[in-house]
Chains A and B, each alone.
Chain A
Amino acid sequence: MWNFFLLILIYTGIYALMALGQNIITGYGGMLSLTQAGFFAIGSYATAILATRYGWSFWATLPAAALFSAFFGLLIGLPTLRLKGDYLAIATLGFGEIVRNVLNNWDSLTNGPMGIQKIPMITIFGFVVNPYKKYAFLVVLSIAVLVAYLLFQRLARSRMGRALAAVREDEIAAQSMGINITKYKVYAFILGASVAGVAGSFQAAFTLSVSPGTYTFMVSVMVLCMVVLGGMGNFKASILGAFIIQLISYLPQLTGLTAVIPPQFKQILFGLILVIMMIWRPQGLLGREQITYRKKGGKR
């Protein structure tokens, strides 16, 4: 039981990374991206392929995974984010499907539907982080989540965070204040993509094997749900949302009711969460984080 709870915590960590990325895109930038699963997959496969085929260590594949995801983020973001409207949502929806399509069909690189096995474990100065023991892995992962959280938290208070908030509230007003709206949108999108790539890296190092079946559209919707449930524009809330959603999705196993609860139960619930939250509590459980700016030496 305790072991199972640790598993949930680890998945919370991996998904929290993705949710942080989704939050900077959707919560701060107000853009709807539906492809965290796609970047997640790219990150996972980058780690899997570089580690098994070229013998890279996990720590070398981690930035590579982030870079690959960022590159693809730029590729989709640049044409779609220049435009007004919600083209990003459709383009990213298509992108996620295509990533899976390519992973399934490019046998020489990805080994098709079989996926890649025997991914080496993470090592830190000779200490092997064995995912079967969970504790060590959870510690490493938590540090990664913490670092990502602090970075994003700083970012939200920077020029970029303010610019994004302005773009979200009113594009025309932001533009007339001299904000290059496309630039900041693309930045946010790339950042969100690369942190999902990092999450993918950890996923590969945790399960030690990757296959296309893991990276379905449901993953993207789950991540979106986490951000919406916790509260858009609040990084703490994204992590909380990640925990709640993971808890819900393992509820049948936790309660031992797998025979009673249909396998579609959680997906239907995620859908309901999205609709119900939008209608009755669009700000999420914790609400948007209010940022107060203090003058140097002055009072609040």
Chain B
Amino acid sequence: MGIAEFFQHLMNGLTLGGIYALIALGYTMVYGILKFINFAHGDVLMAGAFIGLFVFDWLRGSAPLGVWTIISFFLAMIVSMGLSALLGVFIERVAYRPLRQATRLAPLLSAIGVSFILSNGAAWAFGTRSRKFNYPFDNTPITIAQVVITPHQILILVVSLVMMIALRLFVNRTRMGKAMRATSLDQPTAMLMGINVDRVISLTFAIGSALAAVGGILIALDFKVYASMGTMTGLKAFVAAVVGGIGNISGAMFGGILLGLLETFGVAIFGIPTGLKDTIAFGVLILILLIRPEGLFGKVEKEKV
């Protein structure tokens, strides 16, 4: 493998990983606070992609590629983030909040129900055929020193980087972010300190869902939009969250990028057949659970009675 080829795969892996990281953040934030896997997260991503697609097509009309299509693309992304955030908050309010005091199994089962309702509801409302998300700009690849980069990949890298930095700043520098960290650390104590835990949880779902919507739109540009698109992507993003240490925000970012690189290089170097590409994430999950179940950046939690 030449150096150019290496950088080519690196670039492809990074873009794929950036998307995984965005989605993994939603899993890890919810897990950090509520200690449960939000199975419906992948389907919120699907909803976000659909909303983005519809708003973009509507705004753009039949305008030729140009400044307006780019503006309408970002407008569509913002609308989709907002609506997906509302959807996430709504799901939490209706399907998870009543179960906060219930057995551990109850919210998980409820989440699977929500996921099933969303994906099949979408299949019913929008049909089962997959739709193409039109490029908002000319996607002719650029060659820089033998490495082929599409403008789309640049878009993914820039958007995911901006989102991740914004999230970091929000969590580390703002009052609300501090409240979020406190709630994740110790819910009853946070409550006693005057933090409105319900609001923090709603906010967590809103942010996670908005990031999932961005991930959905970015993935849709390459892989089309269809009702069951969230299942496999969601699963992989969850693996990314576990690899980084679930509950850990930087871990999820790192895990996502690592998984993207592993998938790209797994096919390119180790010759794993493309049909079994999806199996890589699963193998990584089993491996990490065997070797380091707390994830690369996770802390070992001592159990207390």
Residues in B with CB closer than 8 Å to A270 are 113, 116
Residues in B with CB closer than 8 Å to A282 are 102-103, 106
Cβ contacts A202-227/B at 8 Å (1 or 0 each): 00000000000000010001001000
Contact pick for A105, options B95, B110, B276, B303, CB 8 Å: B276
Q: Are B293 and A83 in contact (CB under 8 A)?
A: yes
Q: Which of A221-243 contact B (CB under 8 A)?
A: 221, 224, 228, 232
With both chains docked as a complex, state the minimum distance between the C-beta of A113 and any C-beta of chain B, in angstroms.
Answer: 12
Contact pick for B113, options A91, A172, A274, CB 8 Å: A274
Q: How far is the CA of A282 from the CA of B109 in the complex (A)?
A: 10
Q: Are B116 and A221 in contact (CB under 8 A)?
A: yes
Q: Are A32 and B108 in contact (CB under 8 A)?
A: yes
Residue of B nearest to A280 (CB): B98
Which bracket fits the contact residues of A? 35 or more
Residue of A nearest to B238 (CB): A90
Secondary structure dominating the interface of B: helix
B36 at the interface (CB under 8 A from A): yes
Q: Are A86 and B290 in contact (CB under 8 A)?
A: no
With both chains docked as a complex, state the minimum distance between the C-beta of A233 and any C-beta of chain B, in angstroms.
Answer: 11
Segment of A52-60, A118-126, A184-192, A260-268 engaged in the interface with chain B: A260-268
B65 at the interface (CB under 8 A from A): no
Q: Are B99 and A278 in contact (CB under 8 A)?
A: yes
Q: Are B95 and A98 in contact (CB under 8 A)?
A: no
Residue of B nearest to A232 (CB): B105
**Known interface pairs A105-B276, A268-B116; A91-B285 also in contact (CB < 8 Å):** yes
Cβ contacts A82-97/B at 8 Å (1 or 0 each): 1111110111011101
How many CB-defined contacts (below 8 Å) exist between A and B? Answer: 125
B223 at the interface (CB under 8 A from A): no
B278 at the interface (CB under 8 A from A): yes
**Known interface pairs A94-B281, A97-B232, A275-B117; A224-B109 also in contact (CB < 8 Å):** yes
B231 at the interface (CB under 8 A from A): yes
Q: Are B235 and A93 in contact (CB under 8 A)?
A: yes
Q: How far is the CA of A32 from the CA of B289 in the complex (A)?
A: 17
Q: How far is the CA of A83 from the CA of B36 in the complex (A)?
A: 15
Q: How far is the CA of A270 from the CA of B117 in the complex (A)?
A: 8
Q: Are A26 and B105 in contact (CB under 8 A)?
A: yes
**Known interface pairs A271-B114, A273-B113; A264-B123 also in contact (CB < 8 Å):** yes
A-B contact pairs, 27 of them (CB 8 A): A79-B289, A79-B290, A80-B289, A86-B37, A90-B235, A90-B239, A93-B235, A94-B235, A94-B239, A97-B235, A98-B278, A101-B275, A101-B278, A101-B279, A104-B275, A172-B303, A172-B305, A217-B231, A224-B109, A265-B124, A267-B120, A271-B113, A275-B95, A275-B113, A278-B106, A279-B95, A279-B110
Chain B residues in contact with chain A, CB under 8 A? 35-37, 39, 94-95, 98-99, 102-110, 112-118, 120-121, 123-124, 231-232, 235, 238-239, 242, 273, 275-276, 278-279, 281-282, 285-286, 289-290, 293, 303, 305
The 10 A-B pairs at the shortest CB distance, nearest first, are namely A274-B113, A271-B116, A271-B117, A267-B120, A264-B124, A275-B113, A264-B120, A94-B282, A271-B113, A278-B110
